[in-house]
Each structure stands twice: as structure tokens, then as C-alpha cells.
Amino acid sequence: MSILVYTESEEGKYKKIAQEAVSFARGIADKMDMSVTAVAINGGDASELEKCGANKVLQVKDDALKNFNAAAYADVLAQAAKKEEAKVVVVSSSANAKFLAPLLAVNLDAGYVPNVSELPESTSPFKVKHSVFTNKAFATTEIKTDIKVVGLAKNAYGVHENHADATIEDFAPELSSDDYNVETVSVDKATDKVTIADAEIVVSGGRGLKGPENWDMIEEMADILGAATACSKPVSDMGWRPHSEHVGQTGKPVASNLYIAIGISGAIQHLAGINASKTKVVINNDPEAPFFKAADYGIVGDAFEVVPKLNEKLKEFKAQNA
Amino acid sequence: MKILVCISHVPDTTSKINFTDGDSKFDTNGVQFVINPNDEFGLTRAMWFKEKQGATVHVVNVGGAETEPTLRKALAIGADEAIRVDAPATDGFSVAKQLANVVKEGGYDLVIGGRESIDYNGGMVPGMVAKLTGANFINTCIGLEIDGTTATATREIDGGKETLKAELPLVIGGQKGLVEESDLRIPNMRGIMQARKKPLNVKEAVDANAETEAVHFAKPAPKGDVKLVETVDELVDLLHNEAKVI
């Protein structure tokens, strides 16, 4: 019996969330005395998974699976789960993982809990802690089915190196034409920018920046820090920045290590979307801005004075710590 | 085209989140309930299909009688008919099973759900309904056009978007982008009056086992006070040496 884990890669390289998911699967496997089988669809170098504790890597190489396809990928995972007699299937919290997980859960008659932040509190009964009410609370939920699907919250568990010698096996699931009923017409993805989903640091601007022409200093800070840029809802509603940068309850969720909010007052919907971030910094000229109550560090001051100074200081810091 | 919009009845974003019965239940005391924001974008898109393409729009919720005002609001926005499945919304799977039954009996071409509800953030019901009814499924949908029996959808992905094509019947998990915030409709007096006369059918539940059970809730530990600093030097030092994030 095993713990199965879906590992995501991009252009032949595993994503950090793949290593986090394998580390988490290893943690569950140790509690249940089972082994870890990773499923890699057109994946990368298996040693990347081995070092986080995968005992076996099922490699699926198929050009038809070049583009992500939720139904087909869910079918691959379901067949792998049956073959490996998986008791638990671990997936990440990426947009793709959240797309396929419900399909997989129904296929396996498995109960599914997403946004899980810690190893199971107990494995019999199987109880996991996960965030609810958009990070305003946690729930402990028991999964009662024989097979369980667990979605690991972003940036919650981390990568744990725990080397296992993995057997690598080619796996060719039988996919039907029904798996390809949803067809990808085109993919529009900026490859030169850090995405909000993958970023360790997110630099975000709000209405306090007064206009889209003032975003250069935000972009500059993001460049210096290797961060993604984001914005508040009013900013995307006014068309100052693209919708894809909107973070908050109805926008993208953020769970970065560092979130820097510049000229954002901190409406409750905004805070709900970003408060899974570990360290929050606010720069705002209004000391009464609600963001100061949610932040770890703050500077009360005019963004147009503080940000250029901060960028200079960060450059200096990066030069010294390169 | 027959459209079913799944409406989750959720606490308003600004609600205080508290728990009761030994932290085993959400405390609804003094909480204002609304249409789940992700579902409201979908409902508004459905109204567009009704007005431009002659679609029929039904809304559905799985829950007790206390959720009916939320369904009435959806009727006031313009849905033709509402269905309440009289069952407790125990977990995502049991709700999906109830909805799948409504979808099968009603013969809907398009089922619109939300990317996730803002209460339990499960994000699983639309996908499960699709799998249970054999329909196609597209999640995090930020654009949807229907031409005959073919849907073209835009999906938000990490770092961009993609365009997908699928035949009806289709289930989507929708979100902002299906329509914009400024397209959302506040029910007017006429809509509210009409909504009172529109059918709200209570449907008996089918057998649906819950696969998961939330046994305990907790709130995050209170956060310490913000550390206010005067200079950028101090800030960079704290981020490096104390928070260790740069």
C-alpha cells in the first residue's frame, strides 16, 4: 500500500510545489508505515523527487498530455492509485491540482479535503487540519472513506530533504477519447515573469499609488527581489493593472513568504486573500489604515518617498548579499 | 439552453467568524448571509445568456429553509425559477450528489458553480457534479461563450490564461471575469416584487453520504502588534535578520 503524490513540472523541471507535495506524502507515509509513489506526467529528473522521499516514480511520457488536461490527468492518477493500492493521494493547491482533484476524488470514491496545512493529526481515524473561511479559521476534518485525497496548502509544509532510493518505472495508463473532450485551443502565459502562484515574495500596489504611470517603482522592487507584482481590487477594476494581478478574496490567493503592500488600505476582502502570507509589510501614509492591524512591519509614510529609498537600500543589500 | 446556477449561501465577507457547541459548529448568530461572490459572477453571466440567447435560468441551493432569502435574491436578480434541495449541506460530496440529481432530472445543458465558496473554500462541488453527471468540466472560468452546443471558455491558470473548447453539457467553476464587478446587479423593487411570484420548489433529498466531517474549528492565534519602523534601513535589517525573508 502506498501514498500517491501528483508532481507538477514545467518544461521538464519539477516545481517547488512538487517537492513540497512529495515531502508531505513522505510525512504521511511514515505515519502510516507505507511507501511513497510519485506520478510524473512528462516530468523532470526523478532524483529531485527521490531526495524528498519518493520510493517509486511512475513516469508517464505522452505527447497527448503535453498540455494540462484535467480529465485526462485525473484519469492517469486514478489508474496509478489503483495500481499502487494507494490509500492517500496528495495533490498541491495549484490551479491545475484544484481542477483535477474533485474529478479524481469521485473516480476513486475518495473523500477530498483541500488547503491542508499540516500532517494528519491522526491517521486512524484520518483527521487533517485545513484552512476555512478564507484563512480566518482552521477546521479539523475527518475523511471517512477508504481512499483519501488531500490537497496541500501552498507554502505551508515546505520542502523536507529525506532521501530515498527510488525505483523508476514507465507507466502507460489507458486513456480514452472521453478524456480529451475538453480541448485546449491556446495557452497565453508570460514566461519571463514570476507568477503570483510560485512567488516567494509578492510586491503589491493599491489606490494610494494614484495611477498606472506610477507602477515603475513597484516593478523595480519586484525586479530587485525576484518577486511577483500584484494589486488590490480597485486598481484592477479601474484598469490600472491587469486582472491577473488582482489578489484578494475574489482574485488570486497569496501565500508567499513576504507580502509587501504599498498604498493598500487593507479592506477585509483583500486581507482575506493574502493573510496566508508569512510576513506582511505595509507602507501607507494613513496610520489608521486597517492593513497596519494585519501587518508584521509597517512604515507610515508617503509611498512616493519611501519606495524609491527602499529600492535603493534593497539594491545595496542584494549587492552585499549576492 | 437550460442553465442551472448553483448558489452557495455564505456569510458576508465582513462577518465575524465564531464557533459554537464546543467549537464544532459555525456560529450563525448575527451573521448576514449572501450569495457566494463567485456564484454571483456566474449568475450574472447566466442572465446575459438569458437576455441575449434566450436561455432559461434556474438557481439551486442545497440547504435548509433559512437559505431561501438567498435564493429569492437570485430570483430578484432575474433567474426564472429556484430549487432548494431540502438537505443539510454536510460536505462537498454530499452536496454534489444532491446537485447531480437535480441536473439529471432537469436536463440542464450548462451548470454554473463558483470556483469556491468563501466559507469552506472546498472548491470541489462543480467538478464532482460534472464527474457524477458525465458532463465536461472547466474550472476557474473567467470567460464563457456558447455557440449552439459548443462552449468556448477562458480559464485562469497560474501565470496566465488559456482558451478551452468543449461540447455541452458542461459544468464550470466560475469567478470574477465571467462578468466584471461593475456588471453585477442590485435587485430593484420590480425584481423583488416579481421574485415573490416566481416558483421556489423544495425538492426532497436523495440518499447522499458525506465522505468527510468537520469535527473541530479553531481561529488562528492572535497576531502580535505591527512593528512600526521609521527608516528603510531598519526595515531591510528586520526583514533579513528577524523575519529572515530576504
Check residue A191 and give its pLDDT: 75
Q: Is residue B243 part of a domain?
A: no
| B32, B88 Cβ separation under 8 angstroms | no
**Mean pLDDT rounded to a whole number for chain A:** 96
B112-131 residues touching A, CB cutoff 8 A = 118-128, 130-131
| A290, A265 Cβ separation under 8 angstroms | yes
pLDDT over 80 at A278, yes or no? yes
The cell for B16 is: 465575524
Option in B122, B139, B220 nearest A114 (CB): B122
Chain B residues touching residue A246 (CB < 8 angstroms): 176
Is B228 in Cβ contact with A145 (below 8 Å)? Answer: no
Q: How far apart are CA A63 and CA A106, in angstroms?
A: 26
Is B158 in Cβ contact with A195 (below 8 Å)? Answer: yes
B189 to chain A, any CB pair closer than 8 A? The answer is no
Structural domain including B208 reads: 2-218
When pLDDT is cut at 50, 70 and 90, the band that residue A310 belongs to is very high
| A224, A314 Cβ separation under 8 angstroms | yes
For chain B, 246 residues long, the average pLDDT of each consecutive 10-residue run is 98 93 96 97 98 98 98 98 97 98 98 97 98 98 98 94 97 96 94 97 96 96 93 97 96
B223 to chain A, any CB pair closer than 8 A? The answer is yes
Q: Is residue B75 part of a domain?
A: yes
| A244, A197 Cβ separation under 8 angstroms | no
Amino acid, single-letter form, for residue B209:
N
Mean pLDDT value of segment A131-151? 96
DSSP state at residue B169: S
The cell for B55 is: 436561455
The cell for B222 is: 492572535
A221 to chain B, any CB pair closer than 8 A? The answer is no
Check residue A254 and give its pLDDT: 95
Domain ranges of chain A: 2-180, 201-320
Check residue A193 and give its pLDDT: 83
The CATH number of domain A201-320 is 1.20.1250.20? no
Interface mutation target, options A250, A312, A320, chain B, most CBs of B under 10 Å: A250
| B60, B99 Cβ separation under 8 angstroms | yes
| B63, B84 Cβ separation under 8 angstroms | yes
Mean pLDDT value of segment A130-139? 95
Three-state DSSP state, B143: strand
Q: Is residue B7 part of a domain?
A: yes
Q: How far apart are CA B38 and CA B178, in angstroms?
A: 9
Three-state DSSP state, B199: coil
What are A145-184's pLDDT values in tens digits? 999 999 999 999 999 999 999 999 999 999 999 999 999 9
Q: What is the CATH number of the domain that holds B57?
A: 3.40.50.620
Strand runs labelled E in B49-167? 56-62, 81-86, 110-114, 136-147, 150-157, 160-167
Check residue A11 and give its pLDDT: 86
Q: Is residue B235 part of a domain?
A: no
Q: Is residue B134 part of a domain?
A: yes
A247 to chain B, any CB pair closer than 8 A? The answer is no
Shortest alpha-carbon distance between residue B112 and chain A (Å)? 15
Query: How many Cβ contacts (< 8 angstroms) between chains A and B?
Result: 255
A260: β partners: A203, A281
Interface mutation target, options A77, A106, A238, chain B, most CBs of B under 10 Å: A106
Residue A137 vs residues A141, A197, A253, B142, B246: alpha-carbon distances, Å: 13, 22, 15, 28, 28
- Are A2-180 and A201-320 equal in CATH topology? yes
DSSP state at residue A187: E
Q: Is residue B226 part of a domain?
A: no
Shortest alpha-carbon distance between residue B81 and chain A (Å)? 27
Determine what percent of chain B falls in helix, strand and coil, rounding each to the nearest 5: 30, 35, 35
B177 to chain A, any CB pair closer than 8 A? The answer is yes
Chain A residues touching residue B175 (CB < 8 angstroms): 250
| A291, A271 Cβ separation under 8 angstroms | yes
Task: Give how many domains chain B has, as a whole number.
Answer: 1
> What kind of fold does domain A2-180 have according to CATH?
Rossmann fold (3.40.50)
pTM exceeding the 0.90 threshold for the entire prediction: yes
B145 to chain A, any CB pair closer than 8 A? The answer is no
Is A317 in Cβ contact with B162 (below 8 Å)? Answer: no
